[in-house]
Amino acid sequence: MRALITGADGQTGSYLVEALRLRGWDVHGVRRPTSEPSPTGPTGIRWHGADLTAFTDVRDVVARVRADLVVNLAAVSSVARSWDEPVEAALVNGAAVANMLDAVLETRRDGHEPHFVQASSAEIFGDPSSSPQDESTAVAPTNPYGAAKAYAHLLVGAYRARGLSASSVILYNHESPRRPPSFVTRKITSAAARMARGLQDSMTLGNLDARRDWGWAPDYAEAIALVGEARAASDFVIATGEAHSVHDFARAALRAAGLDEDGRSIRTDPAFLRPTDAPLLVGDASRIRRELGWAPTKGFQDIVTAMVEADLAALD
């Protein structure tokens, strides 16, 4: 079996490559023609260059690889960046998915029957009126990232109605030591590690009250692999069902680093606030648990601890 993955050298993509290769899949990755694979990215993968916003590029690589499974993880992955670059977010997170779906549909017309999986996001729900959210929750994004992801999410349903085997996995926040340092979770764990080593005395954050459903990235890659293997043409929420605040995350990181919150160790700065920030996003993953047997393996404190320990090790 052959898989084609965009965003294969990102956090989730790297874990997905590992999960599929353990299953015996031949894995191919897509990157920009001018970029090189990350030195810390996955191994044993064949790379193809393509600009995902250019249909001819996407069509050519999809036709050349003729994968049984196509997974789109490529994205402008930061909500904050999407406010700074809304057009780029719209192109990469939205229009590029239209390119991929149409290219995959073309190979299906040629007698090939691939399955497509789109990495959607809890941000498509915006500021939901009820929690937890599931696959029937109204799509109502409140930022450019969520709006572009919502367009792609709805496109998957449209192409599925045309007969394409396609799934959308609605991923809630998922973390690991491979999370890029620009994300608040890595900012927190790296700050806690530096504080434990006496290299700084506090961490500065934005909205401490924002609550998220934080899971373990390898678990979420496993969920994507299950959906791909099962060719489950449906939407699936991938979440733990537990919500924790940014403040909770910071406290957990301090505990993992052997520190206590003393009233000065966690500071706030309005400069780090988003223009809008949904106060509570927590998912109900009952469908994938019931239909595919998926379940998270690592709890909240264990996730934070694994990240802090990796950041401590990097300082030694």
The residues that are catalytic are 121, 123, 145
Please state, in angstroms and rounded to a whole number, the distance separating the CA atoms of residues 125 and 146: 8
In this structure, what are the phi and psi dihedrals at residue 159, rounded to the nearest 5 degrees?
Answer: -70, -30
Residue 241 Ramachandran class (φ > 0 left, ψ -120 to 50 alpha, else beta): left
Q: In Å, what is the CA distance from 143 to each residue of 14, 59, 140?
A: 27, 30, 10
Burial class from Cβ neighbours inside 10 Å (0-12, 13-18, 19+) for residue 309 reads middle
Residue 70: strand pairing partners: 4, 116
Structure tokens that stand for 245 in this block: 């605040």
Please state, in angstroms and rounded to a whole number, the distance separating the CA atoms of residues 246 and 253: 11
Please state, in angstroms and rounded to a whole number, the distance separating the CA atoms of residues 89 and 227: 26
Contact between residue 122 and residue 281 where contact means Cβ atoms under 8 Å apart? yes
Contact between residue 104 and residue 69 where contact means Cβ atoms under 8 Å apart? no
Q: Give one DSSP letter per residue of 42-82, joined into a string.
A: -SS-EEEE--TTSHHHHHHHHHHH--SEEEE--S---HHHH
Report the candidate in 31, 113, 16, 19 with the shortest Cα–Cα distance to residue 67: 113
DSSP label at residue 91:
I
Report the candidate in 137, 136, 114 with the shortest Cα–Cα distance to residue 127: 137
